[in-house]
Chain A
């Protein structure tokens, strides 16, 4: 058995130079004649977004992080040849904490296996679940998935077993399974990571799904912005075909399954099932009214079941370990785990998988490692992307499960979680998400196409200091209409970021409207910097930071800001260490 050197070469690793690191490792091993003792495994991302992660498994497991190409020679020399840890890049406590409280089911193989080698997957019991499923009847597989309580991880949270049941019940010789890999929420990247790190898990989930409902064809609808994922999926499909997991009479059964990849053109709305189907069919990605539901009349008019990447990644584990095992995790109504993409003002950004029911606080201060800037106060957490909402500190103890999150006005969504501190303006964040949905609205139905645009204009008015109470009333008036009358999920949920910020941060709206003030100092039109003489230490840091002549200061004197010359760049505000500039 060779010792292993695992190098994360997912999209994040590659952007930090992981390929070069791996190449140098290879040449160093050869140079030192260690190639027969050490094997390099290029894995997908591990989840924590630091620069290149290298894990060496010999007599023990050692992790180095932020490895630069120039570190490699030293690591080989010190760790492998001299058997001494290379302390400079050794993973810190924080790294350990990041993984400590996670329970990895979906992400199990991420950073462990080589996604471009099927054997690497097979070593981790790959396709065992498929073999087991083939020994079960279709009803038994369906029951297992139903009993597990698995709910769709793409955002809707619809019970997967029930969905499959519709597909199985639909009478048709032709049926389709579609994997929805059109991950589009800003700040969400768990699907990409799973596709890049563990593509066979998705294929296995799809084949089992196909077997269960009687579908012989599958599509993976993956956004074109994920070229590495598409490349690895193609490799995986090719290898799975070679091994006989895909194709005619799989593993000697009478079940055949074929799979194609369809690259989406990058429209967010194509994540919506009916729009996604239209896109695969080569038509404009516009949602259609439901019913008919895709389970009855979907792709090319045939029964079609669409599951999200993360949902499908769970399937093999449910089949292997049983529904009871899965249902035992998480909460009563939300079983299993959920992957979150941590982003924003948090110390550890990356993918975290925790059991349902974990509180937001546990997530942020556990794996998340707390706020990035400890001097700043926590303000809000945004859950569920453009369809979700902003929750204040008072709701930080909310357990993460479908029901509890929905109660707050936010949604679980696909698992995007953006942490915000006091430097974030809530009107600005609502504007940000609305900008996104306005740009991504397909334009079909009136409430979404026109309503969101009018709401965005109103928010812009407020952040420009021109807002009135009437504008706030307008937002409150239009939101329910857009939520209730929009054709698809995009419009139905798009007002959530606005509504939750109005609900939980009313004082910020009032300040913008009545006092023309943005406490987070984000809304440029409202910025007006002045020096508080009592707090000013006359240090002159602000003067040095100011790129214009707006800041007037002489040694030993309190600084003064000339408003006519100020360009509101915030340089002085950020430079002052004494909160003397407000």
Chain B
């Protein structure tokens, strides 16, 4: 250990530490701008100068190693004056609008600005602002040449995209030959942005966030994880796949939910929508990667699965959709006895009744449900529960209602109750239950969501001439892009910007005359999408055998439940999903309104936590299947990185899809999965970068420098 004094304060510190490190650890702030705890010492800003007894002149604290008996002064009048002059010089070439939250601004405020030359106008560099590149805005007029971005890019990430160009007063940080970042091997890890103290390198506007809000910060910086309703760490498992650790990658998913393989087939993947790689080329194929690892699962996690000793508490879950199954899974791991009551013949809810088999082969669903049963969750099918209160009175300690949304939305047009107007969900349920359907040869489907696509593609497989009619244009369709593409590919017809306005019997027997009107797009509505407006006089009649409504679902909560509902008929709960009745919780679509599998899974998780706590548990449902490792922070050079396009998921040929429900999508080959995972921008690495030491928030302006 080394004994020294800094500003007369006696300090004992570890060997080989620098004065700045020791000072900061002991709450003595020494101004600095080019220093960063993760980087080599650049010593370019010169602000951390100190005086050391017995040494001539000044020394920079960031790179001076402490010695026994050293006496350091950090705030003498001389140092104060030098710092003020250095700040004056730094500002003398910067625009006036230094970002208010930047380290530079804070340091300037801390040191104070001296008036040296009256009426001095800064000599700005007048460099072009590079704001047309992916993810990063480069405004080198604001650059103070501290070198942190260069150091992290060259020495830590080892990508070597940016460096110093020119010299002296003309020095500038640039790519080789001033080429765009994408052509310079940039991996868009944004480490440069993270370490920039002056606002010269910033995230593009849409990615800006409140620096002080850690949760929001992480959500914005790692949007794949941030956008997942259940908080699945996609960044982490994509990295594990890139490293070839497939089982680990699978288990990262398994920690979040029991339905990994299902999600690998059907998740609507907001992670991909938000993936930052969108701004460079196209997003990482995260869902397909999840499927890839799910198919490789060797069950290693089963040995690690923690199941708490029996609590002798009983939980009843009504509904075996993703919310119910997930809640059941986690409640069981907390030692509770769980029974899921399912009204249908088989468990799975909408996953079984609504999702076509060509998207989700039933063996996958069956397997994952089996795993849930294997840990002791009981599933009672053909059991419709009418009075949840009675379950409580009988022998259950808590009830979780996850009955989904079985009600169907109806268009408000004349003739909508015609017998030849069908609802999409019922139709899908029949098809998925292998029931024969006889609905004619020509069918129209109203709607633009995934249910509409599912119905259309199923009907096509039944040999029916199928047309989707949608009142907005393709761009506004809520269905996922791959669903729309496949529907078109398979031969579904589309009538965009068309809307039925009246349904009646046709003169021909057993046919419908659907009166439609053409639409145009107006100003955006409350959903942000352009409002469709009917074009007067464009009405026409469309002759069909059947018209299928697939415009949405709604909750239908039995009155007997006696629960408080909101204006959309969803069950009202508090943040812990507790209803107005003690012991009765609810979650999933019946609370949120129609949403996705992954949303329902999140409700299942929250429900499990709340019910566990309600039953006296700690509410902690975390599983630790994977030992956390440190990521490699070096990315290396790859000049073609930015160009690499998303690897398409292969599908079976069209002719193989006719009149059957064979799974359409094929799994990634291993090499494809690896290289797809390697396209990841590794946004999460940015979270591992240390914070630069800012000046104390409160300081005495007259005393400090």
Contacts and interface: CB of A to CB of B under 8 A. Distances in A.
A487 B481 CA distance: 57
B92 A286 contact: no
Interface stretch (A29-37, A82-90, A477-485, A517-525): A477-485
**Size bin of chain B's contact surface:** 35 or more
A289 B60 contact: yes
A446 B44 contact: yes
A453 interface: yes
A449 B85 contact: no
Interface stretch (A325-333, A356-364, A435-443): A435-443
Contacts of A445: 43-46
Given A286-B164, A289-B63, A445-B46, A453 B81 contact: no
Contact of B116 (A286, A477, A487): A477
Q: Which of A284, A442, A444 has the most CB of B within 10 A?
A: A444
B47 to A, nearest CB: 8
A4 interface: no
Contacts of A447: 46, 85-86, 89
B85 A478 contact: yes
Nearest to B49: A485
Given A441-B169, A447-B86, A289 B41 contact: yes
Interface in A256-310: 267, 284, 286, 288-289, 291
Chain B contact surface mostly:
loop
B117 A450 contact: no
A451 interface: yes
Contacts of A485: 46, 49, 58, 82, 86
A223 B46 CA distance: 30
A446 B118 CA distance: 21
Interface in B27-51: 41-46, 49
Interface in A408-447: 438-447
Nearest to B164: A284
A443 B81 contact: no
A28 interface: no
Q: Which of A445, A471, A485 has the most CB of B within 10 A?
A: A485
Contacts of B89: 446-447, 450-451, 454, 478
Given A289-B43, A470-B117, A474-B117, A442 B85 contact: no
B48 to A, nearest CB: 10
A308 to B, nearest CB: 23
B90 interface: yes
B58 A450 contact: no
Contacts of B42: 444
Contacts of B41: 289
Q: Which of A438, A450, A478 has the most CB of B within 10 A?
A: A450
A484 B56 CA distance: 10
A454 B85 CA distance: 12
A440 B116 CA distance: 26
A478 B88 CA distance: 10
B168 interface: yes
Given A477-B85, A481-B81, A454 B44 contact: no
B93 interface: yes
B92 A450 contact: yes
Given A445-B46, A450-B92, A474 B116 contact: yes
A487 B86 contact: no
B278 to A, nearest CB: 35
Contacts of B81: 481
Interface string A177-199: 00000000000000000000000
Given A454-B92, A484-B58, A485-B49, A446 B116 contact: no
Contacts of B86: 446-447, 481, 485
Interface string A442-475: 1111110111011001000000000000110010
B145 interface: yes
Q: Which of A289, A291, A440, A446 has the most CB of B within 10 A?
A: A446
B171 interface: yes
A73 B44 CA distance: 63
Nearest to A479: B85
A446 B45 contact: yes
B111 to A, nearest CB: 13
Interface string B668-685: 000000000000000000
Interface string B113-130: 000111000010000000
Contacts of A478: 85, 89, 116
Nearest to A491: B46
B46 A449 contact: no
Contacts of A480: 82
A288 B60 CA distance: 12
Q: Which of A284, A438, A440, A477 has the most CB of B within 10 A?
A: A477
Contacts of A288: 43
Contacts of B163: 284
B57 A453 contact: no
Contacts of B169: 438, 441, 443, 449-450, 453
Contact of A441 (B65, B82, B117, B167): B167
B167 A267 contact: yes
Contacts of A470: 117-118
Contacts of A457: 123
A157 to B, nearest CB: 15
A443 B164 contact: yes
Given A443-B145, A484-B57, A449 B171 contact: yes
A223 B44 CA distance: 26
B374 interface: no
Contact of B166 (A440, A443, A453, A486): A443
B170 interface: yes
Contacts of A486: 46
Contacts of B58: 484-485
B551 to A, nearest CB: 64
A333 B168 CA distance: 36
A270 to B, nearest CB: 11
Contacts of A454: 89, 92
Interface in B73-115: 81-82, 85-86, 89-90, 92-93
Nearest to B93: A450
Nearest to B172: A443
Contacts of B82: 480-481, 484-485
Given A289-B63, A446-B45, A474-B117, A481 B164 contact: no
Contacts of A286: 164
A291 B64 CA distance: 8
A486 B85 CA distance: 12
Nearest to B86: A446
A446 B42 CA distance: 12
Contacts of B45: 445-446
Nearest to A471: B117
B90 A450 contact: yes
Contacts of B168: 438-443, 449, 453
Interface string A494-531: 00000000000000000000000000000000000000
B276 to A, nearest CB: 31
A487 to B, nearest CB: 6
A526 to B, nearest CB: 21
Given A445-B46, A478-B89, 6 more contacts: A443-B164, A447-B86, A449-B171, A454-B92, A457-B123, A481-B81
Interface of A: 267, 284, 286, 288-289, 291, 438-447, 449-451, 453-454, 457, 470-471, 474, 477-478, 480-481, 484-487
24 contacts: A267-B167, A289-B41, A291-B64, A291-B65, A438-B169, A441-B168, A444-B42, A446-B86, A446-B144, A449-B169, A450-B89, A450-B169, A451-B85, A453-B168, A454-B92, A477-B85, A478-B85, A481-B81, A481-B86, A484-B82, A485-B82, A485-B86, A486-B46, A487-B44
Interface of B: 41-46, 49, 57-58, 60, 63-65, 81-82, 85-86, 89-90, 92-93, 116-118, 123, 144-145, 147, 163-164, 166-171
Which 4 A-B pairs give the minimum distances between C-beta atoms? Answer: A443-B171, A481-B85, A441-B168, A289-B43
